[in-house]
Every structure is written in structure tokens, then in C-alpha cells.
Amino acid sequence: MPELKYIDDFHAALSNYQLSDHALQILKHTRLIVLTAPTASGRNTIINELLRTNQYNFIVSDTTRPPRENDGILEQNGREYFFRNEADMLADIKAGNFLEAEVIHKQQVSGISIRELEKASQEHRTAITDMDIGGVSNLLSLKPDTIAVLVLPPSFDVWHERIFSRGTMADDEYARRLQTAARILASGIEESSELKIVINDDLTDAAEEIHELVQNNTFSEAQQAAGVALARQLLADTQAALAAL
């Protein structure tokens, strides 16, 4: 993809970004949960399981990049993303109408429009989305009552089975996934006072655990301690695998 036409304007708008008063009010009155995880931990599968309850609205992000084909199927506007032109998206960012947005590889801007949170609020549902762990702290500073969940596989071996079940992988891609996982795990351990850590050993159980957390704020110290212990073990195993490459 070519470089963004308005890249300097995007950087300027995001460098001192502030939500509009309207956006802040919507954010205040919308229940929100975000899931973060290393690749192949089952985060998206859990989200789909929760959506089946009809009590959640998935937040579809906006992006300036064009639709892509995934497994021969072209992405659709409003399903994978809302595909926006640069000028319109820049105007919305300047107006403070995004929960968060970022420039990616100088080629695209993606972010969460406050429009999606407003939709969930109007339908009296919990807004749910996935997010890189790097954006979770910023989100919590804007909305401290956000429920932030780190989803983990039950073990390093099971995690690798899930990764390679998707097909063969080049060594450099494998190394990148390990490096990204190590970053996510280290951040999750460091921020475990703000994140709830859910172990995805069984899909139904993991989804129910998260649903109970959202509906009843039910999450025990024992659950969190088990999650932190697993995160530490996964990080050690990941670092060992990286050292062996």
C-alpha cells in the first residue's frame, strides 16, 4: 500500500488527541469489555461465543485501508471493518469522535469510532472488542471501569498445537509470533492489577467465566493467581524457545 496522503495531519491530530464532550458522555454510560491475547489463544472464538448470548455488541473498527481477500472472501464494509477515506477519518479524529486510533506502518489509520459504543449503549448491550495490550492502559485511563481481560492458552504445548494447526509457518514468522507473545505476556504480568487473566482450556468454560465477570463482577483471587502463574510459565517457555532459534 502507498504511504498515507495526510500522514502528517494524522500524526498532528493524534499527538494531542482528546475525546469530544459527546464522546466522553457516551463512554461514561457504555459498559465495555476488551480482550487481549497472544495469537492463537482463542480470543476471537470466545468473543463469538459471547455474541451468541445476544447481550454483547462487537465493536467494528474503522480503517483507511482498502478491503482485502481472506481465504478468497473479500472483506465487507461494516463486518470486518468500516472502510473510510482519509479525509473523512481525519475529520472525525479532529472532532474527537474516536475512542482510540493509530497510524500503522505509515500506510493506514485504524481505530474505534465512538459511533460503535453509542450503538451498543442504545441497544442496552455490552460493547466488546479485541485490542493489542499496548492500547489497554490508555483505554483504562479514559474509562477506568472498562473490563480488560488477557486470554491465555492452558500451556505452551497446547498453544503451539493451535498455532501450527493453521498451517506451516516460516521461521521468521514463527520468531515474530514468539516475540509478540513475549511482549504481551510480560505486559500482562506487569499490569495484572488492571487485567483479569482467563485461561482458555475449554471454550465454554472460558466464555462463561468472562460472562460472569461482566454480569456479576465475579472473579476470584484464586482465578487471578492461577492466571498470573500461567503467564509467568508461558513467558519463560517462550523466552526459552526464542533463545533456541
DSSP three-state, residue 146: coil
Q: How far is CA 49 from the centre of its chain?
A: 16
Task: Looking at mean pLDDT, say which of 74-88, 98-112, 128-142 comes out highest.
Answer: 74-88
Task: Kindly report the pTM of this predicted structure.
Answer: 0.87
Q: Looking at residue 208, what is its pLDDT?
A: 97
Q: Looking at residue 6, what is its pLDDT?
A: 96
Residue 193 in grid coordinates: 492489577
Residue 72 has pLDDT above 90, yes or no: no
Q: What is the pLDDT of residues 25-57, one digit of tens each?
A: 999 999 999 999 998 999 999 999 999 999 999
C-beta separation of 38 from 184 below 8 A? yes
Q: Looking at residue 71, what is its pLDDT?
A: 77
Domains in the chain with CATH codes: 7-244 (3.40.50.300)
Residue 166 has pLDDT above 80, yes or no: no
Residues 19 and 91: their CA atoms lie apart, in Å, by 13
C-beta separation of 75 from 119 below 8 A? no
Residue 197 one-letter amino acid: I
Q: Could you tell me the end-to-end alpha-carbon distance of the chain, in angstroms, rounded to an integer?
A: 31
User: Which residues, in sequence order, are CB contacts of 226 under 8 Å at separation 6+?
Assistant: 197, 199
**Could you tell me the pLDDT band of residue 129, with boundaries at 50, 70 and 90?**
very high
